[in-house]
Structure 1
Amino acid sequence: MEAALGRVSASKHTGRENLLVCFSHLRWNFVHQRPQHILTLASEQQRVVYFEEPVFEELPQPQMRTSEASPNILIVTPVLPLGASAAKSDAVQRRFVQQIIASMPHSRLIAWYYTPMALRFTEFLDPDICVYDCMDELSAFKNAPPELAQMEKALLRRADLVFTGGLSLFETKRRLHQAIYPFPSSIDVKHFHKARLPGKDPADQAGIPHPRVGYFGVIDERLDAGLVALAARTMPDVHFVMIGPVVKIDPAILPKADNLHWLGAKAYCDLPDYLRHWDAGWMPFALNEATRFISPTKTPEFLAAGLPVISTAIVDVVRSYGAAGLVEIADSDDLESKLRSMLLRPREMLLPQVDAYLADMSWERTWTAMAAHIEGAYRRKKVVPLRRSA
């Protein structure tokens, strides 16, 4: 562990700058989404440590695997021996967190949580600001730890600020904290606008006939596999392109058809190359507990790419993009009619309306607002003790 700690210390980062330590259930290099967008912007103002959930391998003693996502973002992955108990895992991670923070001089410490489960090994922390960025209702997800709900209650008591990943999530939690703010999915417009420009079709997609209807994102219990199968069966002339890693479900249950193409995970930087050659985007989400509060980041990303979009009736999609006439809402009864009608429309028809809607939805704007809340919370915490001593 001492050898690993030596790699954490970065001599090129000197001075007592702010330090943000993020505890996440998501791998930094898994899917590029909300944490990566927000923390990359945060790293322009402070040092960021991204502390992932542990991996378990055959090794004699714990190790701390580190890498740099950028000069100011350090990724830390605890590597624990196979069979390590929960108590041992927590003790090792607690020690790693202590070592990381001690190795990085800082004037202000921000603890940023994406998973309440990290409180099991960070309860000792006394940060200047504690942020809970609640991007999903994790307790509704497949294989959620049974103690997650209780851990979230503890985190809500500790947090100075709570951000939510959507309006529905905000509404269900707004009475649980006095400083809670909704920050629905934002958009990297410049990146996805590349899909509006000409470009070469990726090799693994080039042979797929048109029309093409595409999905990209994590493929798990939130995807309606039955709806995907129905679409492929009832529209044999339409080709459905599915991009993303398969997690938490058996890949064998995914439907198969000649016009259904599972291309696997793709790098974030390559997504515009695929999207520019699609005729429409779709979001075939199941309507279940795991999707009740989601605010899919891919909705504005599809729109920024210049694609017409069709989705199942996800609440946050219906009330925002659906109400604005930017996304077609469909279920199994009318999917074919609505999708075929969409494919006949000129792609450019909605672009002025789309661009106007997305104009104020940048991740930069989101981070600026979050940073203002953090600064306000910090100032309030510093003022309160002065008033008490007067």
Structure 2
Amino acid sequence: MENSWDKMEKLPEYDMLVFCHLRWDFVYQRPQHLITRLSKKYNILVVEEPIGRIENSENKPELFEITNSLHVLRPRINQLHELGSYLNEHIKQRTFQISWFYSAAFISVLESTEFETVVYDCMDELTLFKGASPELIEQENNLLSVADVVFTGGKSLFESKNKKHNNVHCFPSSVDINHFSGSQLNKVTKPKDLENITKKIVGYFGVIDERIDLDLIKETAQKMPNHDFVMIGPICKIEEEDLPRVENIHYLGMKSYEELPQYLHFFDFAMMPFALNDSTKFISPTKTLEYMSAMKPIISTKIKDVLRDYSDCVNLINGSEDFCNVIENPIETYKNQYKTILENTSWDKTAKSMINLIEKVTA
């Protein structure tokens, strides 16, 4: 993304400020899907986590123009508690219609910036993630005390947050069906980094971090030498040396959202090899529906939200023996169930429902 700060004569009036712990140009997921759609109604500034000041530099703000109504700001400050004064310095506007939080770590901004409506879209239980700040629990409690409406990214999160707020709504991650079904592909050519992978592919795309059961992948790959295990995505919060190195495990790095359908087309199985630990206790994986859109048989560990919603069409496993067994004998009748599930979901519907709820609390 190219810095547009100097090119813009002045910043527009924003209706909504979104505070997000994820980089806009990182893995394309819930924030990008929803905020892009919301920007058709609101002028939005997405504020990312600070990247720190550079010594002996002007430290100009990094501002990226995604569309006319959607901009991304990457603040040049060292600490989040400086964000409020930083925004006041660089944005003349003092009052905004909506603040939208993806992380409670940004809550100090409410001390110096006025918002008519506070929205908390809780997509993950960040307090349980590796490296989470010990202050995050208190910050989230404070955010919940001032939020007008709370959205959650799955049923388990809803059950947790519903105990702490009186206006919580469950919006599991959705999907752009046409994007992943392959209907938008001009031609189906095998990506170059798959050309030498000739066995049946058991594939994954997404962040590779502490949520992935690396031992499970290693053990299964060793037991299934006639299959290739392909891992697509960035490596975060773990080290390269933590990755299992087996001849039939391939790490292809991060791919763009536009590229993913091309890779998914060549998966024989799509996997969600999540570890069952604190960081996965509340997850509702976006990739479940993305895999379904491509009509791929899915193999998953027993994540709570996957187990209770998709047990009739997803191959659920306990360990490497189960993993091997379902590769050999997968559920055969999954496509009809997929179609029924997909008929009832879309990011467009989710965004529209969220807007309706926001308008209710602002009425």
Are positions 1:46 and 2:33 aligned together? no
2:322 is equivalent to residue 338 of structure 1: no
Q: Structure 1, residues 62-92: CA drift from partner, whole Å, max 9, x if none?
A: 4310111222110100123xxx4x4xx522x
- Once the 2 structures are TM-superposed, how far is the Cα of residue 4 of structure 1 from its aligned partner? 8.8
- Alignment-derived partner of residue 217 in structure 1: 206
Percent same amino acid among aligned pairs? Answer: 38
Off by >4 Å, runs of 4+ in structure 1: 3-11, 195-198
Instruction: Tell me how far apart the structure 1 counterparts of residues 52 and 106 of structure 2 sit (CA, whole Å).
Output: 17
Unmatched segments (≥5 aa) in structure 2: none
1:97 alignment partner, one of 87, 90, 93: 87
Distance in 2 (alpha carbons) for counterparts of 1:111 and 1:216: 31
Please, which of 324, 328, 352 is the counterpart of residue 315 of structure 2? 328
Deviations 1:171-220 (A, max 9, x none): 01102111111100101101001179760010011210121010000000
The answer to whether the aligner puts 1:182 opposite 2:170 as a matched pair is yes
**Residues 103-252 of structure 1 mapped to structure 2, 5 A cutoff:** 103=93, 109-194=97-182, 199-252=188-241
Structure 1: tracts of 5 or more residues without a match? 380-390
Deviation at 1:155, TM superposition (A): 0.3
SS at match of 2:182: helix
Contact between 1:167 and 1:316, CA under 8 Å: does it hold in 2?
yes
Q: Displacement of 1:5 after TM fit?
A: 6.7
How many residue pairs align between the two structures?
Answer: 358
* TM superposition score normalised by structure 2: 0.93
Which residue identity lines up with residue 232 of structure 2 in the other structure? I
Shift of 1:315: 0.2
Larger radius of gyration, structure 1 or 2?
1
CA contact (8 A) 2:207 2:236 kept: yes
Q: How much has 1:297 moved relative to structure 2?
A: 0.1
2:344 aligned partner = 360
* Residues in 2 aligned to 1:179 and 1:34: alpha-carbon distance in whole angstroms: 21
Query: Any idea what SS the aligned residue of 1:79 has?
Result: coil
- Counterparts of 2:183 and 2:62 in 1: how far apart (Å)? 36
Alignment counterpart, residue 72 of structure 2, candidates 50, 68, 75: 75
CA distance in structure 2 between the aligned counterparts of 1:158 and 1:262, rounded to whole angstroms = 43
Picking from 61, 71, 93, the partner of 1:64 is 61
Secondary structure of 2:226 counterpart: coil
Amino acid at match of 1:357: I
The SS at the match of 1:55 is coil
- Residue 26 of structure 1: how far off its partner (Å): 0.3
RMSD between superposed Cα atoms in Å: 2.1
Aligned position for 2:17: 21
